[in-house]
Structure 1
Amino acid sequence: MRILIVTHVVRKNDGQGRVNYEIVQAALAAGHTVTLLAAEAAAELVAHPRVRFARVATSRLPTRLVQYQMFALRCGAWVRAHRNEFDVVHVNGFIAWARSDVNAAHFVHDGWYRCGFYPFRLQHSFYHAYQVIYTWLNIACEKWAFRHTEVIVPVSQKVAAEVRALGAGAARMQVIHNGVDVDEFRPGACERARFGLPQVPFMLLFAGDLRMSRKNLDTVLHALVHTSADVHLAVAGILHNSPYPALVESLGLSARVHFTDMVMDMPALMRSVDAFVFPSRYEPMGLVLLEALSAGLPVITVRTAGGAEVIAPGSGVVLDDPNDAAALGAAIMRVASDTDYARSLGTRAREVAQNLSWQAMAERYLTVYEQVHARRAAQSLPPACASEPVKL
């Protein structure tokens, strides 16, 4: 097949970019040719003889709103000019003013806007007004994109429900969960000293953007107040402009909370802790949650986190309310105080992750591509001329 993938970046160290990276690798292994219409692509992909990289320049106009629209206009013009060169056109959400065959829905702005935890208000400030208008525009554009594609691939059942709420029929959807590198994220030797973490206490890990309230570190910190003093928390994320160090100090948790700042070797950090806590107020499908499962960590999360749906009974703890600090604290204490329970959760978590490898995910995408290609090939065949006389 001749495959076109339209996205912003295709590289390993980016969430959506990693998904597309693995799809490209699987497509090349299967003998297909791939064109990447993107702003950035990994050098090893660009160097491949069956990869064509059509670079889309990013706009220098002010605001992300205008920049994304310019990117979509440029991508749309390119796709329309080259459409006949491809068997399958794969886009990611709203990224191009052009029809597509496959649309991977990683994030639905309408779901974020209506989830109950959306933090911006139109009349609060200029910044808030800009964020609301930006979200409204994205909602309208995503509706258009989902109407103008053949197959929608939500990354979770949670996202699928949000896409359906925009009017897309379930018959056009095939959920494909994001993947994880089960070889890179695996149980192994503890390296706490490397990250400046104390050796003795039970160590939780929180990883995420420390500037975003939806990741919900505040509830984790309040939950820590409900736990014993030998439960500590490692926090991985960029500290610049984060309000959480001040909250830690105000809660009297300075001796028990350890900020590592940005960590490049997340697999090693996960091997150095005892459990992973992820009570995100809104998450379409968190890669970091899958990584924790693959690392064999007991995972404590909430239903508002999209990845929670992959947690089978006995492979993690899924709470109902992301803001219930007492319930979160109790769940943490049960894992921290019962070694056998924690070990069984981690073992089962690793088993769940084995079915969510990047290779398995990419092969599911290729199956969708093949289905789309087969339907198009069948539609292009001339109809059988039943009325023609039979020649004897």
Structure 2
Amino acid sequence: MCILIVTHVVAKNDGQGRVNYEIARAALEAGHEVTLLASAADSALAAHPRARFVKIAPSKLPSRLVQYQLFAWRTAVWIAAHRDAFDVIHVNGFITWARAHVNAVHFVHDGWYRCGFYPFRARRGAYHAYQVLYTRLNAWCERWALRRAEAIVPVSAKVAQEVAALGIADARLHVIHNGVDFDEFAPGASERERFGLPRDPFMALFAGDLRMSRKNLDTVLRALRETPPHVHLAVAGILRNSPYPALAQSLGVADRVHFLDLVKDMPALMRSVDAFVFPSRYEPLGLVLLEAMAAALPVVTARTAGGAEMIEAGASRDDPHGTHDPHDAAPTEDAPHTGPAAGIVLDDPDDAAALATALVQLATDRVAARQMGEAARQRAATLGWPRMAERYLALYEEVRTPAPRAARAPHSIAAARP
């Protein structure tokens, strides 16, 4: 096949970029030809003899709203000139004004806007008004893009429900969870001293963007106040401009919260803690949750976080969300479930008391916590990057449109910069 992947970044150190990187790598290994239409791409991947990187230079105009729209327009112009060269065009949400065969959905702006935890209000000032405009415009563009794609790939059952709420038929939905490096995040010896963490306390880990209220560290800190002194929290994320160290101080838990700033060796950190806490107020599917599962950590999360379907009792090793093959249509709720819980799922991400109870439960019953961690790792075994890429390639075969023989030469395409 001749495959075109349209995304902003194709790289191993970027969430959505890693997904596209693994798909492209698997496609090249399978003998397909891949063109990457992006602003940045992994240099080794782009240098592959069957790969082509067509760079869309990032716009220097102000605001992401303008920058993303310009990227969408420029990629659409390029695709219109070269569409016949490709069997499959893969895009990611609303990223181009061009029609695609496969659209992978990593975030649903309409779902974020309507989830009940959206923090912005247009009347609260210019910044809030801009955020509302940005969200609503992207929601409209996403709906437009999804209705024009042949196959839609939500990255979790939660995302599939949000896409279906836009009026997309279930038959067009193919849930494929993102992957995880099962070997890199294998459990092992603790290295707490390396990270400056105390040796004895029960240590939960929170990892994410510390500038976003959506990630919900504030509730975790309030919950920590209701736990015994031997329960501590490690926090991994960029501290610059973060309000949470001051909040921890005001809540009287600063001595039990260990802010580590940006951590590059996340596998080693996860081997050094006892649990992972991820009560995001809105999350399509965080890769860090899958990494924690692979590291055999019991997970405390909330139903508002994509991936929660893999934590509760009932998700089996062969069926990560206990409902269907992730390559098949959208999930159903009445299929039989098997398998132990891989953690604890909260109904309300802002329920600090329930979160505190969950942390105390794990800290008190270490045997049960280890069993949850083992169940988490077993489920992560079904979510490796090769398996994810295999599912995408199988879907490509289903939707491919054979290009005219004379046009099937992506490597003759000039690396134009629209």
Return the TM-score normalized by structure 2.
Answer: 0.89
Where 2:204 maps in the other structure, the secondary structure is strand
Structure 2 match to 1:323? 350
Where 1:104 maps in the other structure, the secondary structure is strand
Which contiguous aligned blocks of 4+ residues in structure 1 show a shift greater than 6 angstroms?
A: none
Moved more, 107-116 or 165-174: 165-174
Aligned Cα RMSD in Å?
1.3
Structure 1 match to 2:169? 169
Where 2:101 maps in the other structure, the secondary structure is strand
> Do residues 131 (structure 1) and 131 (structure 2) align?
yes
Letter in 2 for 1:185: F
Where 2:292 maps in the other structure, the secondary structure is helix
Please list the CA deviations of residues 230-260 of structure 1 after superposition, one character each: whole Å capped at 9, or x if unmatched.
0100000011111111110111111100000
Contact 1:312–1:352 (Cα < 8 Å) also in 2: no
Where 2:350 maps in the other structure, the secondary structure is coil
CA distance in 2, matches of 1:2, 1:267: 35
> Do residues 117 (structure 1) and 117 (structure 2) align?
yes
Letter in 1 for 2:344: V
Please list the CA deviations of residues 307-359 of structure 1 after superposition, one character each: whole Å capped at 9, or x if unmatched.
11122412111111101111110110010011111110111111010001111
Where 1:53 maps in the other structure, the secondary structure is strand
How far residue 196 of structure 1 moved from its aligned partner, in angstroms, is 1.0
Contact 1:155–1:178 (Cα < 8 Å) also in 2: yes
- Written as runs of structure 1 = structure 2, the 5 A alignment for 1:177-216 is 177-216=177-216
Where 2:37 maps in the other structure, the secondary structure is strand
How far residue 361 of structure 1 moved from its aligned partner, in angstroms, is 0.6
Structure 1 match to 2:376? 349
Structure 2 match to 1:366? 393
Where 2:235 maps in the other structure, the secondary structure is strand
Please list the CA deviations of residues 284-320 of structure 1 after superposition, one character each: whole Å capped at 9, or x if unmatched.
0111110000000111111100011122412111111
Letter in 2 for 1:251: L
Gaps of 5+ in 2: 314-340, 406-418
Residue 377 to residue 78, structure 1, CA distance change in 2 (3 Å):
closer
Contact 1:2–1:87 (Cα < 8 Å) also in 2: yes
Structure 2 match to 1:390? none
CA distance in 1, matches of 2:59, 2:402: 37
Letter in 2 for 1:266: M
Letter in 1 for 2:370: R
Please list the CA deviations of residues 169-214 of structure 1 after superposition, one character each: whole Å capped at 9, or x if unmatched.
1111101011100011110111111111111111110000010111
Structure 1 match to 2:235? 235
Structure 1 match to 2:65? 65
Structure 2 match to 1:31? 31
CA distance in 2, matches of 1:333, 1:220: 13
Where 2:242 maps in the other structure, the secondary structure is coil
How far residue 161 of structure 1 moved from its aligned partner, in angstroms, is 1.1
Select the structure of larger CA radius of gyration. Answer: 1
Contact 2:159–2:306 (Cα < 8 Å) also in 1: yes
Contact 2:28–2:50 (Cα < 8 Å) also in 1: yes
CA distance in 2, matches of 1:147, 1:348: 37
Letter in 1 for 2:380: A
- Written as runs of structure 1 = structure 2, the 5 A alignment for 1:40-51 is 40-51=40-51
CA distance in 1, matches of 2:179, 2:394: 16
Contact 2:186–2:294 (Cα < 8 Å) also in 1: yes
Where 2:255 maps in the other structure, the secondary structure is coil
- Written as runs of structure 1 = structure 2, the 5 A alignment for 1:262-281 is 262-281=262-281
CA distance in 1, matches of 2:140, 2:280: 25
Structure 1 match to 2:410? none
Contact 2:236–2:261 (Cα < 8 Å) also in 1: yes
Contact 2:156–2:306 (Cα < 8 Å) also in 1: yes
CA distance in 1, matches of 2:13, 2:402: 36
How far residue 155 of structure 1 moved from its aligned partner, in angstroms, is 0.5
CA distance in 1, matches of 2:388, 2:294: 15
How far residue 377 of structure 1 moved from its aligned partner, in angstroms, is 4.9
CA distance in 1, matches of 2:311, 2:369: 15
Letter in 1 for 2:348: D
CA distance in 1, matches of 2:354, 2:65: 39
Letter in 2 for 1:131: Q
Letter in 1 for 2:161: A
Structure 1 match to 2:367? 340
CA distance in 2, matches of 1:229, 1:308: 28
- Written as runs of structure 1 = structure 2, the 5 A alignment for 1:247-266 is 247-266=247-266
Letter in 2 for 1:55: K
How far residue 60 of structure 1 moved from its aligned partner, in angstroms, is 1.0
Where 1:159 maps in the other structure, the secondary structure is helix
CA distance in 1, matches of 2:209, 2:133: 23
Q: Which has the higher contact order (CA 8 A, sep 6+)?
A: 2
CA distance in 2, matches of 1:30, 1:61: 39
Structure 2 match to 1:107? 107
Structure 2 match to 1:389? none
* Count of aligned positions: 378
